[in-house]
Structure 1
Amino acid sequence: MTTAAIEPRAGRRCHNTLNSLHATHYFSPDLGRELAALGLTHPRAVNFAVRGAALGPVGPGTVAATFYNYKYDLVARHVPAVWETAAPEQILAARARAVDATLRRLLGEEAVASEEMAEAARLALRAAEACARGGRPLYSAHADLPVPEEPHLAFWHATTLLREHRGDGHIAVLLSAGLDGLEAVVTHTATGKGMAPKWVFTTRGWTEEDWAAAGGRLRERGLLDSAGELTERGVALREEIEAETDRLDRAPYEHLGAAGVDRLTELGTGFAHAALTAGAFPADLIGKR
């Protein structure tokens, strides 16, 4: 296997592209329909169920810890009740059906059946061979799941592994930086690349009062200014966080090699652009307001 060194941010660019395609199913009506058939209709219950099912029928503490930026009270309203409604194995099967329908709808049958899709699956799975289990609970749980036979589902499975591998490492970096779950979200939103506050309130369970309190703590540390913008120190911290996350996540992309990373990024960009063009995400999802 290739172990050539790659440009420091190449792995991050590749991950961001693949993560965009992975995340489409969270906003898909296909997911809601499949989970509703199992008796899960609340959007937050659906989210906790499909992402947490690989962990097994765990309690709210495990979900809150591994998801990191959700308010525990919100998690506890739905977990472990979701497992009483449907078993994790049923939820995982429903998730796979929803992903299949979502990718076919957003990308089209021709793209799903293309050689480019099969190539993307091979490259992403090869990268995932170098992911590490230690200290990465969400990645490790998903790595225990079988790889689907269909190339588009295998590709999506690999994007999930790479997404959760980076995410688990990112949480370790956030802890080291002294940012709790909401503070991490507030600082990310302040970069202009994170989720808009109204979506944080809707999907993560935090209130405007919680947001304001987190902003106050960040101002005390000199990371935010009075307008809620990152200070020079705040910008530097966010850059350090991403760079350290890159370092912890470099193995899969170094394993794939520079040429493979470039090709996977190219293929992933094409699929992600098609999904975005097809309306995969709400128009106001990202932003400071």
Structure 2
Amino acid sequence: MHVFVTGASGWIGSHTVDDLLAAGHTVSGIARSDSSSAALAAKGVTVLRGDLDDLDTIRRGAADSDGVLHLANKHDWGNPTATNATERAAVETIGEALVGTDRPFVVASGVAGLAQGRPATEQDPNPFVGPDSMRGGSENRALDFVDQGVRSIAARFSPTTHGTGDHGFIAAIVAAARERGVSGYVGDGTNTWAAVHVTDAARLVRLGLEQAPAGTKLHAVAETAIPTRAIAEAVGEGLGLPVTSVDPADAEEHFGFIGRFFAMEMSATSEGTRELLGWEPTGPRLLEDVAAGAYAEAARR
């Protein structure tokens, strides 16, 4: 299968590209910079120069493929309106290019906000609908195309897809601890996060592309519920820093943008995904990664 990947040089995307190539697929991907282009080309990826706002390139990449993985997102926390609009436009462009083909279209999503008071499951509907909602309502918009002959699949990622080189949420928490001189958690730290190692997430995305029926919601979740206090304790131990509670009112001032997320309950299960795809995570657990120094570089920023 020839797979078109947005975000091919990103954190999850680069590992997914490696997994696709190892499984015998060919890959094309968008790259914004010379360095990203060179890295992808060195793997044997066909490079399309552009970014998420380059809808003509996205349309061409999707139309010329046997399936699409949409893993890119601007993640501009200072301008969520623009980020959401770009995300929705990209999903609509890909979906329209695939109408009537029955080709797979895997769109990245998340587990945040799916359930209250319990871990989210694959059966939970995504509450974010419409262009003004989180991620521009991209999961639901992608699934709209099922009725138009597209094998749309939602890949819902844990709040932390971790591993050495990760520059996401855990890296931001580590960097905040280094800057503040304490490793903090919000409130009593009993709210929990789901987690998955990046290599397990990459393999799940590839299996979903190959096997999942239209309309499937997959959960890239290896660990259901890690208390945020335990995350802070692991970070503190690794950095040799004291661990302390941060008042919820001060969370964003203390942590930066990550504070709003570190205070949230973002737990989820993946039993349905494992049964459907035969997927079993084998990578390190989050606290093992932190203890092994996977985020040492983040600590020095």
Q: TM bucket by the smaller chain?
A: 0.3 to 0.5
TM (normalized to structure 2)? 0.31
Larger proportion of strand: 2
Tell me: higher relative CO, structure 1 or 2? Use CA pairs within 8 A at least 6 residues apart: 1
TM-score by length of 1: 0.32
